[in-house]
Amino acid sequence: MTIRTRLRAPAAVALIAAALIAGCGGDDDKGSSPDVRANGTDAAFVEAMIPHHEQAVDAADIALSRAEHPQLKKLAQEIVQLQSIELASLRPVRDVLRDAGVEPADLGLSESELGTHHDPADLRNAEDFDCAFLELMIPHHEGGIRLARKELEAGIHAELRRMSMDIIDEQGFQIRQMKRYQRRWCS
C-alpha cells in the first residue's frame, strides 16, 4: 500500500506518528539505546529526511502559484500533502531518538547525492518555471530514494523502514511522471 492510499483518512497523521514513536520501544536493539529500538542509521535517516522533505515542500509551495501546467500543480499539491504528513510523523521520532541519545551514523551521501544542493528559493524567479521545477525536483526525489534505501539497508526501526518503502514507491512514481512532463514540455 502506498502513502497516497494509506493517508487518505483524517486520522492518518496521528496514527502514523503514534506508530513511529511506538516503534522506538524495546530492549533488543542491536546497537541502540536500551529504551529505543533504533540505531544510528535510523537517526541519520530522520535527521536527513526532515530537511529533505522541508525543501521539497518549499519548492512545491512555489509551484502551486507559479506552475503553468495543471498537471504540475496537481503534482505539487501531492508533494506538499504527502511530505507534510511524513514530516509530522518524523519530527516526534527525531525528538525521541535525540532524547534517547541515538547518534546519527554517517550514511555516506553527499548533498548532491541527496538532491539538496539547489535552493528552492531560486525557483521564485525562474523564467521557465515548470522546466526549472522539474530540473530541481527530479534529482531531489532521486536523492530521497537513495536516502530511503540507506534506511532499508541498515536501519532497524520498523516504521521508518515501512516509510522508506513508501517513499521509494511514491517518489519513484513521481519521478516517472516528472520525466514524462520534462520530455513533453522542456527542450
**Domains defined along the chain, listed by start:** 39-105+112-185 (1.20.1260.10)
Q: Is the pLDDT of residue 107 over 80?
A: yes
Q: Look at residue 118 in the predicted model and tell me its pLDDT.
A: 87
Burial annotation 31-46 (CB, 10 A radius, 16+ → b, else e): ebbebbbbbbbbbbbb
Nine-digit cell at 123? 525557483
Instruction: Name the more confident of 14 and 103.
Output: 103
Q: Look at residue 36 in the predicted model and tell me its pLDDT.
A: 78
28-60 pLDDT tens trace: 344 444 567 999 999 999 999 999 999 999 999
- % of the chain residues with pLDDT over 90: 74
CA 81 vs CA 56, 85, 116: distances in Å = 11, 6, 20
* DSSP assigned state of 108: -
Q: Look at residue 15 in the predicted model and tell me its pLDDT.
A: 44
Mean pLDDT value of segment 79-83: 96
Q: Look at residue 35 in the predicted model and tell me its pLDDT.
A: 64
CA 74 vs CA 80, 87, 114: distances in Å = 10, 20, 24
Whole-number mean pLDDT of the chain? 86
Q: For the whole model, what pTM was predicted?
A: 0.83
CB contact at 8 A, 163 and 38:
no
CB contact at 8 A, 155 and 104:
no
Q: Look at residue 34 in the predicted model and tell me its pLDDT.
A: 54
Q: Look at residue 117 in the predicted model and tell me its pLDDT.
A: 87
CA distance 176 to 160: 24
CA distance 178 to 140: 12
